[in-house]
């Protein structure tokens, strides 16, 4: 194979690996990684079995459904995802959102409910997959960290309140968080004492293991101990509800039996799950990538998450997502590559085929304790308090998201929080944020007035302003008034220069405002000029006719060029000389920096240039 053929083959392999990341790591897999990946796979399995069964119940489905959804989800993400440590299997938040979306459409426990749940996973996966193919990975920016903090905390509280009846041994209520809380208070006299004792003991036991023995899979130990005690003490005969018989095996792949109207009913829920799934996964994935010095592709992450959900739905499971607790355990156990997920997927299949009968005596209170401990880690009250100290707006966004989820359904609560955050963004951007710029003392570059450690000097007759949020419809009117107010000084400026560095795009209202500003300043005897106009902005100015009004001669590549023109037209000889002196001083400072980093020959050459500049400065200093 010649060189061109090798280059072509390498390029094709790279292009295929772009959409099949497994080809980027599997051909280069090293034997020494296997031990860490196998141990990580076993560790994730120890968490996945009890949590998966519990999360399936959160989704309103039988515990064995977790064994249908998890293996294919793990395998497909390992093949198509770009994070090496992220675990995509079952998620408490996504299971809750699945239950919220399906509950109005069918009764839990019915074949229709299972079909809707599988269809929801398929549709959410398809939306995510298409978003990745169309390179919409930037959708994560719709969710501020503050909104997600409140949203996830609200979901965790909602999940926890649903487990309380299982801990107390009475029937669960319905409705939002507050309605369920009221129902629990009314039902307290119906508490089954032995169930409550089992629940509290296992809550304390799991907490103890997690805080004192970090490497012990607390959920798995609780699962085994709960089954053992149930058999030994005959808890089912004493009135304690148990999981009951779990069918062994895996569900065959098939499309849910839904008609077009059913699919359309699932679209809002699927869209919400796809968005939250990505937002929930991208942060941890980015964190792991930074820690282990590799890159992730947000668009490919969407594809990986989408394929995992489509696989889960196709195999009659439910919507799945990333798990921060399992991902962290995977990382701590030494996972080097997604091989750990493939190991876990294979072991989960073995458990589903041969070991599900062992789970029948498990008390539901133990599963509820596992869920409560898991979701307590999702409750970010300390982070919400920190937001209050750092920035009140972010705190209130988190509170809106939190109470939105508690008071409404999860999707409605998220939508409310996103709308409020977007309104807050528009409101902040609508403020007239202007900075006045002046030349630095002894230099020719412009810097904000009042910047710490920097001395600036005003240029008589020249006012330089920079809109720091860019110019667009929301802030155009406020900027117009603020600029005219800044120019209302005595003596009035002859030149008002707008630094357009932060305006990467200009809409029609923004262009219209600049035209009106030009006319208003001209009436005051001042000239409007623009500096650092981006390539996408100038055509808008031309098409709107504003460029003809302002004049091409009043567009400058830098503020310094406008300064030179202004001094040439209106400045005194002393001012012009000062600008030249500052320019020479700036050049000398730059040459001295380069001289310090150069070799002997360069230093000698630069020293001569510096001497010439300093001689010229000295002559200017002695000139009257």
- Beta-bridge partners for 447: 438
Q: Nearest 10 degrees: CA dihedral of 14, 15, 19, 25? A: -10
- In contact, 316 and 67? CB cutoff 8 Å: no
Copy the structure tokens of residue 539. Answer: 């055509």
Average pLDDT over residues 538-548: 93
Whether residue 574 is predicted with pLDDT greater than 70 in this model: the reply is: no
pLDDT of residue 572: 58
pLDDT of residue 181: 92
Average pLDDT over residues 393-411: 84
Whether residue 3 is predicted with pLDDT greater than 50 in this model: the reply is: no
Whether residue 559 is predicted with pLDDT greater than 80 in this model: the reply is: yes
Identify the residue whose tokens are 């039996």: 257
- In contact, 319 and 338? CB cutoff 8 Å: no
Whether residue 127 is predicted with pLDDT greater than 50 in this model: the reply is: yes
Cα separation, 414 vs 488, in Å, equals: 46
pTM, whole model, 2 decimals?
0.67
Instruction: Tell me which residue of 508, 395, 336, 321 sits closest to 149, measured CA to CA.
Output: 395
Whether residue 524 is predicted with pLDDT greater than 80 in this model: the reply is: yes
Q: Which of 158-172, 256-270, 295-309, 496-510 has the lowest mean pLDDT?
A: 158-172
CA atoms within 13 A on the CB side of 303: 19
For residues 582 and 133, which has the higher predicted lDDT (pLDDT)? Answer: 133
- In contact, 344 and 44? CB cutoff 8 Å: yes
Q: Is 173 helix (H, G, I), strand (E, B) or coil?
A: coil
pLDDT of residue 408: 82
Q: Is 546 helix (H, G, I), strand (E, B) or coil?
A: helix
- In contact, 250 and 353? CB cutoff 8 Å: yes
**CA distance between the termini of the chain:** 76
Average pLDDT over residues 215-236: 86
Using alpha carbons, list the distances in angstroms from residue 224 to 96, 210, 358, 363, 371. Answer: 26, 16, 9, 11, 16
Using alpha carbons, list the distances in angstroms from residue 411 to 93, 100, 368, 464. Answer: 11, 8, 24, 47
DSSP state of 170: S
With bands split at pLDDT 50, 70 and 90, how would you rate the model's confidence at 624?
Answer: very low
Cα separation, 175 vs 409, in Å, equals: 9
Question: Domain 434-571, what architecture?
Answer: 2-Layer Sandwich (3.30)
- In contact, 522 and 550? CB cutoff 8 Å: no
- ∠ CA(592), CA(596), CA(600), 5° rounding? 110
Instruction: For residue 382, give every residue at least 6 positions away whose Cβ sits within 8 Å of its Cβ, in sequence order, or none.
Output: none
Average pLDDT over residues 530-548: 93
Cα separation, 352 vs 248, in Å, equals: 6
Copy the structure tokens of residue 261. Answer: 């109207």
pLDDT of residue 9: 46
72 φ/ψ angles, rounded to the nearest 5 degrees: -70, -35
What is the 3-class SS of 398-454, one letter each residue? HHHHHHHHHHCCHHHHHHHHHHHHHHHHHHHHCCCCEEEEEEECCCCCEEECCCCCC
Q: Tell whether omega for the bond before 484 is within 30 degrees of 0, i.e. cis.
A: no
- Sketch the domain layout of the chain as residue ranges: 18-421, 434-571, 574-622
With bands split at pLDDT 50, 70 and 90, how would you rate the model's confidence at 596?
Answer: confident
Instruction: Tell me which residue of 101, 21, 3 sits closest to 307, measured CA to CA.
Output: 21
Identify the residue whose tokens are 């309605």: 179
Q: Is 52 helix (H, G, I), strand (E, B) or coil?
A: helix
Copy the structure tokens of residue 275. Answer: 């968005």
Whether residue 114 is predicted with pLDDT greater than 90 in this model: the reply is: yes
With bands split at pLDDT 50, 70 and 90, how would you rate the model's confidence at 288?
Answer: confident
Whether residue 7 is predicted with pLDDT greater than 50 in this model: the reply is: no
Instruction: Tell me which residue of 388, 373, 445, 390 sits closest to 589, measured CA to CA.
Output: 445
Q: What is the CA radius of gyration of the chain?
A: 32
Using alpha carbons, list the distances in angstroms from residue 20 to 17, 321, 382. Answer: 4, 20, 39
With bands split at pLDDT 50, 70 and 90, how would you rate the model's confidence at 110?
Answer: very high
46 φ/ψ angles, rounded to the nearest 5 degrees: -60, -30
**What percent of the chain has pLDDT above 90?**
42
Q: Is 239 helix (H, G, I), strand (E, B) or coil?
A: coil
DSSP state of 464: E
What share of residues in the chain are helix, strand, coil (percent, to 5)? 70, 5, 25
**Considering the chain, what is the average pLDDT of its residues?**
85
* Helix pair 324-332, 34-58: axis angle to 10 deg: 160
With bands split at pLDDT 50, 70 and 90, how would you rate the model's confidence at 66?
Answer: very high
Average pLDDT over residues 459-488: 90
Q: Which of 162-166, 339-343, 350-354 has the lowest mean pLDDT?
A: 162-166
Instruction: For residue 78, give every residue at least 6 positions away whose Cβ sits within 8 Å of its Cβ, in sequence order, or none.
Output: 22, 338, 339, 341, 342, 345
- In contact, 582 and 443? CB cutoff 8 Å: yes
Average pLDDT over residues 171-182: 85
Instruction: Tell me which residue of 63, 370, 164, 95 sits closest to 103, measured CA to CA.
Output: 95
Whether residue 374 is predicted with pLDDT greater than 80 in this model: the reply is: no
- In contact, 149 and 380? CB cutoff 8 Å: yes
- ∠ CA(97), CA(82), CA(17), 5° rounding? 130
Cα separation, 325 vs 330, in Å, equals: 9
Cα separation, 300 vs 259, in Å, equals: 30
Q: How many CB atoms lie within 10 A of CB 193?
A: 10
């Amino acid at each position: 194979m010649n060189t061109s053929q090798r280059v072509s083959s390498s390029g094709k392999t790279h292009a295929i690996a772009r959409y099949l990341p497994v080809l980027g790591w599997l051909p280069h897999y090293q034997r020494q990684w296997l031990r860490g990946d196998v141990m990580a796979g076993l560790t994730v399995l120890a968490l996945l079995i009890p949590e998966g069964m519990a999360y399936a119940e959160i989704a309103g489905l039988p515990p064995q459904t977790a064994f249908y959804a998890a293996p294919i989800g793990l395998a497909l993400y390992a093949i198509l995802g770009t994070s090496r440590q992220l675990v995509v299997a079952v998620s408490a938040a996504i299971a809750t959102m699945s239950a919220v979306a399906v509950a109005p459409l069918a009764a839990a426990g019915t074949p229709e409910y299972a079909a809707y749940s599988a269809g929801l996973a398929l549709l959410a996966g398809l939306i995510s997959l298409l978003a990745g193919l169309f390179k919409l990975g930037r959708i994560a920016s719709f969710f501020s960290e503050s909104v997600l903090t409140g949203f996830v905390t609200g979901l965790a509280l909602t999940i926890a309140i649903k487990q309380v009846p299982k801990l107390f041994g009475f029937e669960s209520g319905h409705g939002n968080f507050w309605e369920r809380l009221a129902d629990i208070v009314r039902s307290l006299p119906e508490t089954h004492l032995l169930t409550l004792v089992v629940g509290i003991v296992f809550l304390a036991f799991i907490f103890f293991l997690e805080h004192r023995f970090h490497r012990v899979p607390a959920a798995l130990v609780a699962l085994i101990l709960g089954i053992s005690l149930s058999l030994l003490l005959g808890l089912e005969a004493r009135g304690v509800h148990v999981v009951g018989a779990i069918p062994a095996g895996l569900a065959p792949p098939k499309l849910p039996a839904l008609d077009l109207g059913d699919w359309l009913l699932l679209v809002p829920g699927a869209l919400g799950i796809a968005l939250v799934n990505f937002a929930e996964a991208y942060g941890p994935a980015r964190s792991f990538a930074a820690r282990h010095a590799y890159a992730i592709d947000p668009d490919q992450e969407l594809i990986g998450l989408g394929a995992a959900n489509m696989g889960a739905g196709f195999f009659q499971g439910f919507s799945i997502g990333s798990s921060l607790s399992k991902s962290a355990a995977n990382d701590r156990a030494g996972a080097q590559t997604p091989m750990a997920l493939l190991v876990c997927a294979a072991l989960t299949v073995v458990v589903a085929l041969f070991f599900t009968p062992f789970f029948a005596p498990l008390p539901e209170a133990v599963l509820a304790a596992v869920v409560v401990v898991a979701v307590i880690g999702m409750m970010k009250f300390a982070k919400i308090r920190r937001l209050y100290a750092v920035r009140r707006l972010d705190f209130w966004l988190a509170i809106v998201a939190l109470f939105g989820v508690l008071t409404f359904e999860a999707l409605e609560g998220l939508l409310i929080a996103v709308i409020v955050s977007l309104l807050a963004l528009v409101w902040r951007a609508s403020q007239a944020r202007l900075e006045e710029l002046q030349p630095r003392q002894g230099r020719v570059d412009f810097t904000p007035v009042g910047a710490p450690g920097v001395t600036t000097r005003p240029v008589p007759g020249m006012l330089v302003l920079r809109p720091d949020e860019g110019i667009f419809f929301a802030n155009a009117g406020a900027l117009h008034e603020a600029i005219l107010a800044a120019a209302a000084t005595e003596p009035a400026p002859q030149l008002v220069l707008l630094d357009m560095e932060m305006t990467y795009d200009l809409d029609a209202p923004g262009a219209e405002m600049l035209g009106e500003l030009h006319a208003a300043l001209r009436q005051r005897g001042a000239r409007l000029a623009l500096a650092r106009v981006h390539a996408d902005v100038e055509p808008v100015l031309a098409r709107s006719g504003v460029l003809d009004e302002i004049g091409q001669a009043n567009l400058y590549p830098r503020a310094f060029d406008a300064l030179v023109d202004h001094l040439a037209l209106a400045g005194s000889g002393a001012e012009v000389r000062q600008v030249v002196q500052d320019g020479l001083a700036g050049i000398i400072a730059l040459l001295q920096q380069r001289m310090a980093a150069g070799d002997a020959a360069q230093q000698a050459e630069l020293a001569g240039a510096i001497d010439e500049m300093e001689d010229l400065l000295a002559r200017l200093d002695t000139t009257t």
